[in-house]
Amino acid sequence: MPGSNERAAVLAAQYREQGYCVAGEALTKAEVAALLDEAMRLCREEAAGLSGGAAATGAADDMGRFLAIHFPHKLSPLMRETLAHPRIVEVLTEAIGPNVKCMQSMLFIKNAGKPGQAWHQDEDFIATRDRSLGAAWIALDDATVDNGCLWVIPGSHRPCVLWPLRQHNDPEYDFAPQSYDFPYRDEEAIPVEVAAGSIVFFHGHLLHKSLRNRRTSGFRRALVNHYMSAESLLPWWRPGGPHPPTQDLRDIVMVAGTDPYAYKGTEDVNRPYVRLEAAAPAMT
Protein backbone atom coordinates (compact mmCIF):
# COMPACT_ATOMS: atom_id res chain seq x y z
CA MET A 1 0.00 0.00 0.00
CA PRO A 2 1.39 3.47 -0.85
CA GLY A 3 2.11 5.88 2.00
CA SER A 4 -0.07 8.92 2.58
CA ASN A 5 2.34 11.28 0.78
CA GLU A 6 2.55 9.06 -2.29
CA ARG A 7 -1.19 8.44 -2.27
CA ALA A 8 -1.92 12.17 -2.03
CA ALA A 9 0.53 13.00 -4.83
CA VAL A 10 -1.18 10.50 -7.16
CA LEU A 11 -4.62 11.88 -6.36
CA ALA A 12 -3.44 15.48 -6.77
CA ALA A 13 -1.99 14.64 -10.20
CA GLN A 14 -5.36 13.21 -11.24
CA TYR A 15 -7.08 16.31 -9.86
CA ARG A 16 -4.88 18.59 -11.96
CA GLU A 17 -5.23 16.49 -15.12
CA GLN A 18 -8.89 15.44 -14.98
CA GLY A 19 -10.33 18.08 -12.68
CA TYR A 20 -11.35 15.54 -10.06
CA CYS A 21 -10.10 12.53 -8.12
CA VAL A 22 -11.54 10.00 -5.67
CA ALA A 23 -10.12 8.93 -2.33
CA GLY A 24 -12.00 5.68 -1.87
CA GLU A 25 -13.49 5.04 1.57
CA ALA A 26 -11.26 7.68 3.15
CA LEU A 27 -13.44 7.92 6.26
CA THR A 28 -13.99 4.92 8.48
CA LYS A 29 -17.44 3.40 8.98
CA ALA A 30 -17.43 4.80 12.51
CA GLU A 31 -16.66 8.31 11.21
CA VAL A 32 -19.46 8.08 8.64
CA ALA A 33 -21.90 6.81 11.26
CA ALA A 34 -21.02 9.71 13.57
CA LEU A 35 -21.58 12.24 10.79
CA LEU A 36 -24.93 10.66 9.90
CA ASP A 37 -26.00 10.82 13.55
CA GLU A 38 -24.98 14.47 13.64
CA ALA A 39 -26.86 15.15 10.38
CA MET A 40 -29.99 13.68 11.91
CA ARG A 41 -29.50 15.80 15.03
CA LEU A 42 -29.24 18.96 12.91
CA CYS A 43 -32.44 18.09 11.04
CA ARG A 44 -34.28 17.22 14.23
CA GLU A 45 -33.05 20.01 16.51
CA GLU A 46 -31.69 22.86 14.40
CA ALA A 47 -32.90 23.01 10.81
CA ALA A 48 -36.52 24.12 11.25
CA GLY A 49 -35.32 27.18 13.16
CA LEU A 50 -32.89 28.31 10.46
CA SER A 51 -33.57 30.77 7.67
CA GLY A 52 -35.59 28.90 5.06
CA GLY A 53 -36.43 26.07 7.44
CA ALA A 54 -39.67 27.54 8.75
CA ALA A 55 -41.36 26.64 5.44
CA ALA A 56 -40.57 22.95 5.88
CA THR A 57 -43.40 20.63 6.88
CA GLY A 58 -43.17 17.23 8.50
CA ALA A 59 -42.09 15.58 11.70
CA ALA A 60 -39.11 16.95 13.60
CA ASP A 61 -36.99 13.90 12.76
CA ASP A 62 -38.00 13.81 9.08
CA MET A 63 -34.64 14.52 7.45
CA GLY A 64 -36.15 14.14 3.98
CA ARG A 65 -38.02 17.45 4.06
CA PHE A 66 -34.76 19.34 3.56
CA LEU A 67 -32.61 19.41 0.43
CA ALA A 68 -29.56 20.83 2.15
CA ILE A 69 -28.24 22.72 5.16
CA HIS A 70 -25.64 25.39 4.40
CA PHE A 71 -22.76 26.05 6.81
CA PRO A 72 -23.47 23.05 9.08
CA HIS A 73 -19.94 23.41 10.48
CA LYS A 74 -21.26 26.45 12.35
CA LEU A 75 -23.81 24.25 14.10
CA SER A 76 -21.78 21.10 14.62
CA PRO A 77 -18.36 20.81 16.24
CA LEU A 78 -17.94 17.43 14.53
CA MET A 79 -18.56 18.88 11.07
CA ARG A 80 -16.21 21.76 11.81
CA GLU A 81 -13.55 19.25 12.84
CA THR A 82 -14.17 17.32 9.61
CA LEU A 83 -13.20 20.39 7.56
CA ALA A 84 -9.58 19.50 8.37
CA HIS A 85 -9.85 15.71 8.21
CA PRO A 86 -6.36 14.31 7.54
CA ARG A 87 -7.46 12.57 4.33
CA ILE A 88 -8.80 15.89 3.04
CA VAL A 89 -5.78 17.92 4.05
CA GLU A 90 -3.25 15.50 2.57
CA VAL A 91 -4.80 15.87 -0.90
CA LEU A 92 -5.56 19.60 -0.76
CA THR A 93 -2.04 20.54 0.29
CA GLU A 94 -0.75 18.67 -2.78
CA ALA A 95 -3.43 19.98 -5.15
CA ILE A 96 -3.85 23.59 -3.93
CA GLY A 97 -0.76 24.40 -1.88
CA PRO A 98 0.55 24.22 1.67
CA ASN A 99 -1.74 26.97 3.02
CA VAL A 100 -5.42 26.16 2.67
CA LYS A 101 -8.56 27.83 4.01
CA CYS A 102 -12.20 26.74 3.99
CA MET A 103 -15.08 29.15 3.50
CA GLN A 104 -18.14 26.91 3.20
CA SER A 105 -19.73 23.61 4.12
CA MET A 106 -22.98 22.09 2.84
CA LEU A 107 -24.91 19.05 4.02
CA PHE A 108 -26.82 17.64 1.04
CA ILE A 109 -29.62 15.26 1.98
CA LYS A 110 -31.45 14.35 -1.27
CA ASN A 111 -34.20 12.00 -0.18
CA ALA A 112 -35.83 9.56 -2.63
CA GLY A 113 -37.50 11.47 -5.46
CA LYS A 114 -35.69 14.74 -4.76
CA PRO A 115 -33.98 16.61 -7.63
CA GLY A 116 -30.31 17.03 -8.42
CA GLN A 117 -28.45 20.09 -9.67
CA ALA A 118 -27.90 20.98 -13.33
CA TRP A 119 -24.48 21.47 -14.94
CA HIS A 120 -22.53 24.17 -13.12
CA GLN A 121 -19.07 25.29 -12.03
CA ASP A 122 -18.48 26.19 -8.42
CA GLU A 123 -16.23 29.14 -9.31
CA ASP A 124 -19.36 30.87 -10.62
CA PHE A 125 -20.59 31.12 -7.04
CA ILE A 126 -17.32 31.32 -5.10
CA ALA A 127 -14.95 33.26 -7.31
CA THR A 128 -11.27 33.11 -6.36
CA ARG A 129 -8.53 35.38 -7.69
CA ASP A 130 -6.14 32.51 -8.40
CA ARG A 131 -8.48 29.75 -9.63
CA SER A 132 -7.66 27.68 -6.57
CA LEU A 133 -11.21 26.74 -5.53
CA GLY A 134 -11.65 23.05 -4.79
CA ALA A 135 -14.35 20.89 -3.20
CA ALA A 136 -14.17 17.84 -0.98
CA TRP A 137 -17.44 15.91 -1.47
CA ILE A 138 -17.76 13.32 1.31
CA ALA A 139 -20.23 10.51 0.56
CA LEU A 140 -22.28 9.64 3.65
CA ASP A 141 -24.23 6.99 1.71
CA ASP A 142 -23.17 4.87 -1.24
CA ALA A 143 -23.64 7.24 -4.19
CA THR A 144 -24.91 5.52 -7.34
CA VAL A 145 -26.48 6.46 -10.65
CA ASP A 146 -29.95 5.55 -9.42
CA ASN A 147 -29.80 7.59 -6.21
CA GLY A 148 -28.24 10.68 -7.80
CA CYS A 149 -24.45 10.50 -7.71
CA LEU A 150 -22.21 13.19 -9.16
CA TRP A 151 -21.57 13.35 -12.90
CA VAL A 152 -18.48 15.14 -14.22
CA ILE A 153 -16.97 16.08 -17.58
CA PRO A 154 -13.29 15.14 -17.14
CA GLY A 155 -10.89 17.86 -18.22
CA SER A 156 -13.57 20.54 -18.49
CA HIS A 157 -11.69 22.60 -15.88
CA ARG A 158 -8.61 23.07 -18.06
CA PRO A 159 -9.71 26.14 -20.09
CA CYS A 160 -10.56 27.92 -16.80
CA VAL A 161 -13.49 29.53 -18.61
CA LEU A 162 -16.69 30.25 -16.72
CA TRP A 163 -19.50 29.39 -19.12
CA PRO A 164 -22.73 31.44 -19.05
CA LEU A 165 -25.56 30.63 -16.64
CA ARG A 166 -29.32 30.62 -17.12
CA GLN A 167 -32.41 29.57 -15.22
CA HIS A 168 -34.22 26.42 -16.32
CA ASN A 169 -37.51 24.61 -15.71
CA ASP A 170 -36.26 21.03 -15.88
CA PRO A 171 -37.84 19.06 -13.00
CA GLU A 172 -34.79 16.77 -12.94
CA TYR A 173 -32.90 19.57 -11.18
CA ASP A 174 -33.48 22.05 -8.37
CA PHE A 175 -33.82 25.81 -8.81
CA ALA A 176 -30.10 26.59 -9.15
CA PRO A 177 -29.05 28.00 -12.55
CA GLN A 178 -27.36 25.84 -15.15
CA SER A 179 -24.23 26.38 -17.20
CA TYR A 180 -24.72 26.26 -20.98
CA ASP A 181 -23.04 26.97 -24.31
CA PHE A 182 -19.92 25.02 -23.36
CA PRO A 183 -18.03 22.93 -25.96
CA TYR A 184 -18.72 19.53 -24.36
CA ARG A 185 -21.39 16.93 -24.99
CA ASP A 186 -23.41 15.08 -22.37
CA GLU A 187 -21.96 11.89 -23.84
CA GLU A 188 -18.57 12.93 -22.45
CA ALA A 189 -19.89 12.96 -18.88
CA ILE A 190 -19.17 10.07 -16.53
CA PRO A 191 -20.90 9.10 -13.28
CA VAL A 192 -18.80 9.15 -10.11
CA GLU A 193 -20.20 6.23 -8.15
CA VAL A 194 -18.52 5.90 -4.77
CA ALA A 195 -18.95 4.00 -1.52
CA ALA A 196 -19.91 5.75 1.70
CA GLY A 197 -16.85 7.34 3.29
CA SER A 198 -15.22 8.13 -0.04
CA ILE A 199 -14.19 11.69 -0.86
CA VAL A 200 -14.55 13.17 -4.35
CA PHE A 201 -12.25 16.16 -4.83
CA PHE A 202 -13.00 18.45 -7.76
CA HIS A 203 -11.73 21.73 -9.21
CA GLY A 204 -13.83 24.89 -9.06
CA HIS A 205 -13.97 25.12 -12.88
CA LEU A 206 -15.02 21.49 -13.43
CA LEU A 207 -18.46 21.08 -15.00
CA HIS A 208 -20.48 18.75 -12.79
CA LYS A 209 -24.08 17.90 -12.00
CA SER A 210 -26.26 15.34 -10.26
CA LEU A 211 -29.57 13.77 -11.23
CA ARG A 212 -32.74 13.08 -9.29
CA ASN A 213 -32.72 10.34 -6.64
CA ARG A 214 -34.75 7.75 -8.52
CA ARG A 215 -35.10 5.30 -5.66
CA THR A 216 -38.44 4.84 -3.90
CA SER A 217 -36.83 5.16 -0.48
CA GLY A 218 -33.53 6.18 1.05
CA PHE A 219 -31.11 9.08 0.87
CA ARG A 220 -28.01 10.17 -1.01
CA ARG A 221 -26.38 12.29 1.65
CA ALA A 222 -23.07 14.10 1.29
CA LEU A 223 -21.07 16.61 3.29
CA VAL A 224 -19.40 19.03 0.88
CA ASN A 225 -16.73 21.55 1.87
CA HIS A 226 -15.12 24.25 -0.27
CA TYR A 227 -11.49 25.33 0.02
CA MET A 228 -8.97 27.64 -1.61
CA SER A 229 -5.39 28.82 -1.22
CA ALA A 230 -4.87 31.01 1.83
CA GLU A 231 -2.61 33.28 -0.27
CA SER A 232 -5.62 34.43 -2.29
CA LEU A 233 -8.19 36.97 -1.12
CA LEU A 234 -11.79 35.81 -1.02
CA PRO A 235 -13.95 38.33 -2.95
CA TRP A 236 -17.18 36.67 -1.90
CA TRP A 237 -20.74 37.48 -1.02
CA ARG A 238 -21.45 39.00 2.39
CA PRO A 239 -25.02 38.50 3.73
CA GLY A 240 -26.88 41.79 3.56
CA GLY A 241 -23.75 43.51 2.36
CA PRO A 242 -22.99 45.67 -0.64
CA HIS A 243 -22.83 44.48 -4.23
CA PRO A 244 -20.29 43.63 -5.58
CA PRO A 245 -19.07 41.32 -2.81
CA THR A 246 -16.53 42.24 -0.20
CA GLN A 247 -12.95 42.15 -1.47
CA ASP A 248 -11.83 39.68 1.17
CA LEU A 249 -14.40 37.86 3.24
CA ARG A 250 -12.71 36.73 6.44
CA ASP A 251 -15.35 34.22 7.51
CA ILE A 252 -12.92 31.33 7.02
CA VAL A 253 -11.41 28.34 8.77
CA MET A 254 -7.74 27.55 8.21
CA VAL A 255 -7.22 23.82 7.67
CA ALA A 256 -3.53 23.69 6.73
CA GLY A 257 -0.42 25.83 6.92
CA THR A 258 -0.42 29.51 7.82
CA ASP A 259 -2.65 32.44 6.95
CA PRO A 260 -0.69 35.31 5.35
CA TYR A 261 -3.63 37.63 6.12
CA ALA A 262 -3.95 36.63 9.76
CA TYR A 263 -3.37 40.27 10.75
CA LYS A 264 -6.89 40.99 9.43
CA GLY A 265 -8.46 38.64 11.94
CA THR A 266 -11.52 36.53 11.16
CA GLU A 267 -15.25 37.18 11.32
CA ASP A 268 -18.46 35.19 11.67
CA VAL A 269 -21.03 36.60 9.24
CA ASN A 270 -22.43 33.74 7.17
CA ARG A 271 -25.38 32.20 8.96
CA PRO A 272 -26.50 28.59 8.50
CA TYR A 273 -29.67 28.21 6.46
CA VAL A 274 -31.83 25.54 4.88
CA ARG A 275 -32.33 24.87 1.19
CA LEU A 276 -35.78 23.63 0.25
CA GLU A 277 -36.85 22.32 -3.14
CA ALA A 278 -38.79 25.47 -4.04
CA ALA A 279 -36.47 27.96 -2.38
CA ALA A 280 -34.98 30.98 -4.09
CA PRO A 281 -31.51 30.63 -5.63
CA ALA A 282 -28.71 30.80 -3.08
CA MET A 283 -25.40 32.64 -3.31
CA THR A 284 -23.47 29.43 -2.69
Per-chain mean pLDDT for the chain:
93
What superfamily in CATH does domain 4-275 come from?
A: q2cbj1_9rhob like domain (2.60.120.620)
pLDDT at residue 280 above 70?
Answer: no
Q: Is the pLDDT of residue 157 over 50?
A: yes
Mean pLDDT of 270-277: 89
By percentage, how much of the chain surpasses pLDDT 70?
94
- Taking the C-alpha atoms of residue 166 and residue 113, their distance in angstroms, rounded to an integer, is 24
Could you report the per-residue pLDDT of 98-113, keeping only the tens digit for each? 999 999 999 999 999 9
Q: What is the C-alpha separation between 82 and 26, in angstroms, rounded?
A: 12
Cα distance between residue 76 and residue 127, in whole Å: 26
CB atoms within 10 A of CB 120: 19
The partner residues of 199 in beta bridges, in order of sequence, read 23, 138
- Measured distance CA(123)–CA(228) in Å, rounded: 11
> pLDDT over 90 for what percent of the chain?
85
CB environment 259-270: b (16+ within 10 A), e (fewer): bebeeeeeeeeb
| pLDDT: which is higher, 39 or 240 | 39
Looking at residue 244, what is its pLDDT? 66
Q: Answer with the residue of higher pLDDT: 58 or 117.
A: 117
Question: Among 16, 152, 156, which Cα is nearest to 96's?
Answer: 16
d(CA 196, CA 32): 7
DSSP assignment string, 160-210: -----EE----TTB-SS-EE-S-S--GGG-EEE-B-TT-EEEEETT--EEE
> For 172-192, what is the mean pLDDT?
96
Average pLDDT over residues 170-186: 95
Measured over the CA atoms of residue 202, residue 98, residue 272 and residue 244, the dihedral's sign is negative
Domain extents for the chain? Answer: 4-275
Q: Is the pLDDT of residue 245 over 90?
A: no
CA distances to 36, 148, 225, 258 from 261, in Å: 35, 39, 21, 9
